[in-house]
Amino acid sequence: MPTADDLRPLAVDLALLGATLMLFAVDLGLPHGRKRWLGVLSSALLAGLFVLTFFVDTEGSAFGGSYVGGAWPLLFKRIALAAGALAALGSVDHVDRHFPTRQGEFYLLMMFSLMGMTLLPGARDLLLFVVAFEMMGIPLAMMASYAKTEDLKGVHRHAAEAGLKLYLISAVSTAITLFGLSYVYGLTGSTRLDVIAQAPLSPLLGVGMMLTVAGMSFKVGAVPFHMWVPDTYQGAPTPFVAFLSVAPKASGFAAMTAMLLVAFKNNREQVLSVVLLMSLASITIGNLLALPQKDVKRLLAYSGIAQVGYMLIGLVAGGSYGVGMLLFFVSGYVATNMGAFLVLEAIAPQRTGITLDDVKGLSRRSPWLAAALLLFLLSLAGIPFVVGFWGKLMVFMAAYQAGYGWLVLFGALMAIVSLWYYLQVARAAYMGDAPTEEVVPVKVTPTLATAIAVCLTLVLGMGAYPRPFIEQASAAARSFLGEAP
């Protein structure tokens, strides 16, 4: 029987469940025409939960060790909740404009997906893993196809494709992960990660471990499981893409680190060689394929694939420093990428596809949006004074320390390639002529503007004073690996 102590590590997740139910009830009671407040409410609820994480004690473990609390999962929960709050705030007007009758479901799906994300980092049991993974993934596929063609004729025709691709690749990956897990379970007789860690190595266990880790890398969008990413980003509603591009990645990394460093900790070297290959492939393919893109969302999709490659460097480096800096990198990336997509939403709220031509002349249409976009792009490129620089620097330092000097060199060279396409966007915003003669100012709704402002503050703040964030991340990583704080 679960006791009260068992529930302590689940405090945040249970509160999230409560918030979700509350949202559901409000949705039932709210008359049509007022539904846009659901977005504001869910954002407020998530922000409240985010604040709550600073006041709860989640130490300990639940259900006989299947679920753990503590600093490491808590930090991931915070990232997911913050991403959710910002994405909900950024979605308010888009959802109200395009899906006025289906608003409640949108935010409920987001909350359900978030519940999967908050559960995932604490899971230490294979079954819980799979359930949390699917709980996170299936609502995402539904949201990706949310813009059905009937809304605006012909304009949203990519939506079904976006959702279907995400769903199919997700299903295949899950099937393969489950296949791998069945080997792992069969050979070790347990679904608990700490028990699996004790099992002797055998060919079948090798197959199982590899397939598990590979299947999980689908969620983070690493090569070769990346192909859904550009198509889905291009076709799905932009504020949702802002969410999709950051939150599942953070939780996906939580799951991967748990698998690699807890379940397979005695055999991690070989698994890491596959992770290393995926990292190299992601950096290369992501950066090179971003170069010829004319659609900014596709460009950011490939850039995201490359960024995942950099995050995987932190995983390859390993140790509390490596994974800690991975976590720091991810938290900076969440603010940056979310901000970049929200700016795109502000520029072209009517469409799902946004080309470089749409960005042209932005600096004259809205100097503030252009400046924000520039800073987000600089952060993605890793230029000093914005958070992306510290993220890259720290991950590189960890990799060099772990003896991967050549990987650092490779990553740094490819970062220069990335500068090319990031600057293409910045150049369009600052140096391109607006498509029309007259300068049409961009109207940004207050909710969207707030969300962008928060992202910008985080990007600048974490860039100017990264210390508390880095310290939190390293402390969490040390507690995760059971090292002295």
Partner 1 sequence: MRAIDWALLSTFLPLATALLLVLVSPLRRTGLGAGLVSVVSAVATFVGAVMVLASRFGAEAGVVHRTIQWLPHSALGGVAHGRGAIELGVHVDGISATMLVVVTFVALCVQVFSIGYMAEEPKADFGRYFTWQSLFLFAMNSLVIAPNLLQLFLGWELVGLVSYLLIGYWWKKPSAARAALKAFWITKFADMGLLAGLIVLFLATGTFDWTVTTAAAGTVTLLLFVAVMGKSAQFPLHIWLPDAMEGPTPVSALLHAATMVAAGVFLVVRAFPLFEQAPNTLTVMAYVGSFTALFAAVVAVVQTDIKKVLAYSTCSQLGYMVCALGAGSQAAGFFHLTTHAFFKALLFLAAGSLIHGVHSNELSHMGGLLKKMKVTSGAFIIGSLALAGVPGLAGFFSKDLILEEVLHRGLWAPLGALLVAAFLTAFYMGRVMWVALLGEPSEHAKHAHESGPSMLAPLIGLSVLAIGVGYFGGTLSGLYGEPVHFHLSAIGIVATVLGLSGLGISYWMFGAPQGGKAILEAFAPVGRLARSGAVNGFFAWSYRSVMTRVAAAIGWFDRYVIDGLINGIAYGTLEAGSRLRVIQTGRVQDYVYVVVAAMLLIGLYGAFWGR
Binders of partner 1 among residues 142 to 171 (CB under 8 A) are 164-165, 168-169
441 binds partner 1 (CB under 8 A): no
173 binds partner 1 (CB under 8 A): yes
Q: Are 139 and 166 in contact (CB under 8 A)?
A: no
Query: Shortest Cβ distance from residue 42 to partner 1 (Å)?
Result: 31
Binds partner 1 (CB under 8 A): choice among 419, 452, 459, 476: 419
Q: List residues bridging with 355 in a β-sheet.
A: 295
Contacts (CB under 8 A) with partner 1, residues 358-387: 367, 378, 383-385
Query: Shortest Cβ distance from residue 16 to partner 1 (Å)?
Result: 30
For residues 84 and 90, give the distance between their C-alpha atoms in angstroms, rounded to a whole number.
10
Q: Strand, helix or coil at 3?
A: coil
304 binds partner 1 (CB under 8 A): no
Q: Strand, helix or coil at 192?
A: strand
Query: Considering all CA atoms of the chain, what is the largest pairwise distance in Å, rounded to the nearest integer?
Result: 71
Q: Are 98 and 46 in contact (CB under 8 A)?
A: no
172 binds partner 1 (CB under 8 A): yes
Which uninterrupted H or E stretch holds 182?
Answer: helix 159-188
Residue closer to partner 1, measured from CB, 15 or 414: 414
Site string for partner 1, 216-255 (x = CB under 8 A): --x-----xx-xx-xx------------------------
Extract the tokens encoding 263.
């379940």
Instruction: Annotate 348-381 with b (16+ C-beta within 10 A) or e (fewer).
Output: bbebbbbbbebbbbbbebbebbbebbbbbbbbbb
Query: Shortest Cβ distance from residue 11 to partner 1 (Å)?
Result: 28
Query: Shortest Cβ distance from residue 423 to partner 1 (Å)?
Result: 6
For residues 319 and 394, give the distance between their C-alpha atoms in angstroms, rounded to a whole number.
13
Binds partner 1 (CB under 8 A): choice among 56, 160, 195, 423: 423
Nearest alpha carbon to residue 322 among 220, 403, 394: 394
* DSSP, res 65: G
288 binds partner 1 (CB under 8 A): yes
Residue closer to partner 1, measured from CB, 300 or 408: 408
Nearest alpha carbon to residue 85 among 301, 234, 239, 253: 239
Q: List residues bridging with 125 in a β-sheet.
A: 192
Residue closer to partner 1, measured from CB, 18 or 224: 224
Query: Shortest Cβ distance from residue 464 to partner 1 (Å)?
Result: 10
126 binds partner 1 (CB under 8 A): no
Binds partner 1 (CB under 8 A): choice among 117, 119, 290, 311: 290
Contacts (CB under 8 A) with partner 1, residues 466-485: 466-467, 470-471, 474
Q: Compute φ and ψ for 72, nearest 5 degrees.
A: -65, -55
Query: Shortest Cβ distance from residue 19 to partner 1 (Å)?
Result: 33
Query: Shortest Cβ distance from residue 357 to partner 1 (Å)?
Result: 16
71 binds partner 1 (CB under 8 A): no
